[in-house]
Each structure stands twice: as C-alpha cells, then as structure tokens.
Structure 1
Amino acid sequence: MKFIIFFLGISTFCFSQKISFIYETKYKLNSEKQDDVYSENMILDLKNNTSIFRDSLDKKSDSIRLNKGNGRYKMGVENQFYVKKNLAQKRIEKIITYLGTDYLLPVEEILNWNITSEQKLIGKYKSQKAETNYGGRNWIAWFTTELPFADGPYIFSGLPGLIISIQDLNNDYSFNLIEVKKSGNIFDARTKTVKIDWKKYETLAKSYFNDPYDVNSKIRMGKTVTFTGPNGIAMDISIKNKEMQINILQENNPIELNHKINYK
C-alpha cells in the first residue's frame, strides 16, 4: 500500500508539470528498400492528463499558427504522425492536415497489452517488456515505472509507466526515447477540426493521389498552373503529377498497415 501511495504521489507531482519527451523515430516507407530509412526526432509534450505527439517542425508550426501565422504547408495525408491523447478519458486522435484543413481521425482500435516478466536496463531506466497489436502490426515495447506516465510515442499508451522504446516486428517503425526535459507552452493549435473516419481518410488520400498539386481547384479559381524544372525550363504539370504518383506507390508502407490504400 505504501508503494501505491508513493507512486500516486509522484504521478500527481509530475502531471502538474509540463514535460517533453524526445523520441528518435525511424521508419521505412518503402519496405522493399531495407536501407532506405527515414530518421527524425519527434516530441511528446505532456501537460496534466493530455499530450501531443508530433515532429519538431509541426510543433514550431503550431507556435506560428497560435500567433496568427500560416504555419506549415503539407502535401498529402499519409505518413503524418500528429497525435493527441486525453489519458484520463482514454481518447486518442490523429490530426491530419491537408490543404489547410485539420481533420480529426479518432483511433478506436484498443491496445491490449501483454506485460511480460522480462526486464532490462535501457539507458539509465529499468524497463519491462510488453507486447501488443496495432494497425495490423505486432509491437514490442519497453516501459519504465521510473517515469510514471501511462503514455508513449504516437498512439501508444496505457502501460504503468512511460514507453521508452517500441518497435514493430517487421522493423519498419521504431520510437526510442533520447531526452527528457521540462517544457513550456505545448502549443495546442489544432482545435478546430473536421471529424473523419478511415473511409473518408482513404477518400482524401486518393484525391491527393489523383491530383497531387491540386491543379483542378486552381484552374477552377482561374489560376494558371506551371512548373519549372531544375534547368529553368517549364514542364507539363502532368509529368510532375506522374512523378509524384510513382513516389506515392513506392512509399506505400503506412504504420497502420491494416489501412493500407490500394491506389491502383
């Protein structure tokens, strides 16, 4: 009983602060190219019982948006890692930004964790192994009660401690904690959203695939659409569209493999 009271005391103290957890994130968008690995640092900002997970450019963009700026422009809807969580209400939401609109995609898939007895030291933290399934993938996680937060990178949460490392068994996606620091404003800028489901998500993705540079809407607005190549010569926009479509097809290895889109 004393341990439980002590644990809850730490949790109350820690949740009253703003904390940032920095994760090195690695992923393969083309599963056939084993050496083609993207790597970037992503941030889990935690305040009270809510958190936002995103890359550093998205956090900077949110800061700009809160100061009435335009923020970051994104092409397409796939491969976006922006996630909001309400830990108290066990609510998880992906935020997809496309053509200036923020779409809210609820994550309703339940994480059923199998906590094993296996333990090891990761950095300075005593960690314990847990397993789960999500998005058509099997995942191995390591969490630590030394950081008493039931949270983790991306959509992952619900363990009795912070997830400091998690990787799918295909070695396509991994998140590893590299830094913990006190945080200031978490910049929650994406509050006006349009709610969608996975079917609508697929519709948006296919719309982008069919018209990556949003040419049709620009033409309807009376704008002239041109593209200048590296040699300074104007190119037919259809050529650029085809190049982008080929790239989308080659990099079709989403983290939610059970929602992989068949573009053909």
Structure 2
Amino acid sequence: MKLIIFFLGISTFCFSQKLSFIYETKYKLNSENPDDVNSEKMILDLKNNVSIFRDSVEKEADSLKLNNGKEIFKMGVENKFYVKKNLAQKRIEKVITYLGKDYLLPIEEILDWKISSDQKMIGKYKSQKAETTYGGRNWIAWFTTELPFGDGPYIFNGLPGLIISIQDSNNDYSFNLIEVKKGDNIFDARTKTIKIDWKKYETLAKSYFNDPYDVKSKMGIWKTVTFTDPKGNTMDISVKNKEIQNNILQENNPIELNHKINY
C-alpha cells in the first residue's frame, strides 16, 4: 500500500508540544460486501502522553461545544471511534455520545504485542511489523521509531514508536497515517461522562435500535410523527424506523467483533 506522509520537521518538536497525526480510516460495515467501504479522516491529537482520537466531524463538534455551546451529534451508538488515552496511567477509554449524553467505556483488554524482525519503508519512514489481538480480531501493525511516540490510532498503543499503519486480518478495518503536523489545542469537550461497561453499551444500542428517533421518551407514545420523502409524500415514522433498523442489521460488523450485538 502506497502512502504519502507529509512530514513537518518532527525532529524540531519536543515532547511537550502538541502534535496531530491524521489517519485515513477505512472500514466495512458489511463484511459480506467488499465494495461497501467507508473512508474517513481521523485525527490523533497528542500532548504529554495524553491523546484524543476522533474523526474530523467529532473534533469540529467538540470545538463548537466549547466555543459557543452548540452541539452536533451522530445518531446511534455503534461505529463510534472516539477514544481518550492517558499513556502514563495506561488508561484507555471510548466515549459514546447518545441522546446528548457522553458515556465513558473503559477499554480493559490488554494488547499483547508480538514484534517481528520484518521491516519495510512506508512513505519516508522505516517501519517494523508487530501483531496483536483486540476485539476478537487479529491485527497487523507497522510502527516507526522515527516518530518516537508509543501511541497510534483508535485504542492501539504500547509499541516503541508511532503506529503508522494497522489493519485486521479480515481487511475490515484499517488505519493509515497520511499526515503529521504541529497540532492545535487538544480541547477535551467531553469531560462530564457516565461510566458504563459493555453490557450497558449493549443496552444503549438496543434502545436505539428499538426506537431510533426516541419518540417514546421525547414525545410520548401517543404522538403521531410523520416524515416527508424527497417526492413530498408523507410517511409514518414507523417506516423511517424500519429503514434505520434494516441498516443496523445489514451493517453489523463492529470493530470489537467480540462485542457484536445480536438484535
């Protein structure tokens, strides 16, 4: 895989400065359809062994929330990639935002890395191979000591250098570094959280599946809600709910495969 990595004088940065690592993230929500691939830019903001990994939309949402109080939320619970790390304290946490609340899901699975002697050039960086398991998947990573940070995309960390490429053995998920730059403020906007575990996570996901538009709690089950399609035709909310439920069932290929939910 050919990568182009923009390198902005990393050797002049000291560890106390803020850095941003931008990854191209590709993932298949339907493992049976190899052509159905999502691609997003996701950002690892790092300073003093503390980092936040999130996609560009989530970072913009955090900035808006801190600057003017406005909030942007994605619907649903699954397919969230927002991760906080404190490497010094070995604390890794996913943040799940649902119905205006931020839930904190600690990641307690230990990454047991097996470092190989295999090496290759990725972009301009000499990289080395390492393998681990996480979330019921086998992962192959390439890290470089030329970027001396023991971090990486999503929950991945703990190698002697930055992870610049990692993908699972099924080729369902991949993260590849495409840019390195001096970072701006990390700005953590999601500090008021409710701690949950995977069982509670499943409860939230099923709650969304059963009532995607949350009509029962927000409007009362006696309310009649309708939508208008692009042609101007009116449709009952049950039709829209069914569309979302079908999408969830068809796109049930989570990165944590060992926590896949049976709806």
The TM-score normalised by the length of structure 1 is 0.93
Q: What is the alpha-carbon distance in structure 2 between the residues aligned to residue 261 and residue 224 of structure 1?
A: 30
Map of 1:34 onto structure 2: 34
The code of the aligned residue for 1:24 comes to E
Map of 1:85 onto structure 2: 85
Report Cα offsets for 1:76-110 as digits up to 9, x if no partner: 10000000000100100000000000000000000
Q: Is 1:136–1:257's contact at 8 Å kept on the other side of the alignment?
A: yes
Map of 2:164 onto structure 1: 164
The code of the aligned residue for 1:132 comes to T
Q: Is 1:74–1:99's contact at 8 Å kept on the other side of the alignment?
A: no
Give the structure with the larger helix fraction: 1
Q: What is the alpha-carbon distance in structure 2 between the residues aligned to residue 66 and residue 221 of structure 1?
A: 34
Q: What is the alpha-carbon distance in structure 1 between the residues aligned to residue 145 and residue 253 of structure 2?
A: 33
Q: Is 2:84–2:95's contact at 8 Å kept on the other side of the alignment?
A: yes
Q: Is 1:218–1:225's contact at 8 Å kept on the other side of the alignment?
A: no
Q: What is the alpha-carbon distance in structure 2 between the residues aligned to residue 232 and residue 14 of structure 1?
A: 58
Q: Is 1:45–1:51's contact at 8 Å kept on the other side of the alignment?
A: yes
Q: Is 1:219–1:225's contact at 8 Å kept on the other side of the alignment?
A: no
The code of the aligned residue for 1:87 comes to L
After superposition, residues 18-57 of structure 1 pair within 5 angstroms as: 18-57=18-57
Map of 2:243 onto structure 1: 243
Equivalenced residues, count: 254
Map of 1:4 onto structure 2: none
Q: Is 2:129–2:141's contact at 8 Å kept on the other side of the alignment?
A: yes
Report Cα offsets for 1:42-99 as digits up to 9, x if no partner: 0000011100000001101100011132221221100000000001001000000000
Map of 2:147 onto structure 1: 147
Q: Is 1:94–1:104's contact at 8 Å kept on the other side of the alignment?
A: yes
After superposition, residues 95-134 of structure 1 pair within 5 angstroms as: 95-134=95-134
Q: Is 2:97–2:103's contact at 8 Å kept on the other side of the alignment?
A: yes
Report Cα offsets for 1:181-223 as digits up to 9, x if no partner: 0011112100000000000000000000000111111323986
Gaps in structure 1 of 5+ consecutive residues: 1-9
Q: What is the alpha-carbon distance in structure 1 between the residues aligned to residue 14 and residue 133 of structure 2?
A: 29
Report Cα offsets for 1:9-46 as digits up to 9, x if no partner: x99x6321000000000000000100100001100000
Q: Is 1:52–1:83's contact at 8 Å kept on the other side of the alignment?
A: yes
Do structure 1's residue 187 and structure 2's residue 183 form an aligned pair?
no
Secondary structure of the structure 1 residue equivalent to 2:68: coil
Q: What is the alpha-carbon distance in structure 1 between the residues aligned to residue 112 and residue 143 of structure 2?
A: 15
The code of the aligned residue for 1:142 comes to W
Q: Is 1:82–1:154's contact at 8 Å kept on the other side of the alignment?
A: yes
Shift of 1:239: 0.9
Report Cα offsets for 1:123-179 as digits up to 9, x if no partner: 000000000000000000000000000000000000000000000000000000000
Q: What is the alpha-carbon distance in structure 2 between the residues aligned to residue 156 and residue 109 of structure 1?
A: 11
Q: What is the alpha-carbon distance in structure 2 between the residues aligned to residue 78 and residue 94 of structure 1?
A: 11
Q: What is the alpha-carbon distance in structure 2 between the residues aligned to residue 72 and residue 43 of structure 1?
A: 18
Map of 1:220 onto structure 2: 220
Deviates more, 1:81-90 or 1:214-223: 214-223
Q: What is the alpha-carbon distance in structure 2 between the residues aligned to residue 60 and residue 221 of structure 1?
A: 34
The code of the aligned residue for 1:218 comes to K
Secondary structure of the structure 2 residue equivalent to 1:20: strand
Q: Is 2:94–2:106's contact at 8 Å kept on the other side of the alignment?
A: yes
Secondary structure of the structure 2 residue equivalent to 1:111: coil
Q: Is 2:225–2:236's contact at 8 Å kept on the other side of the alignment?
A: no
Map of 1:234 onto structure 2: 234
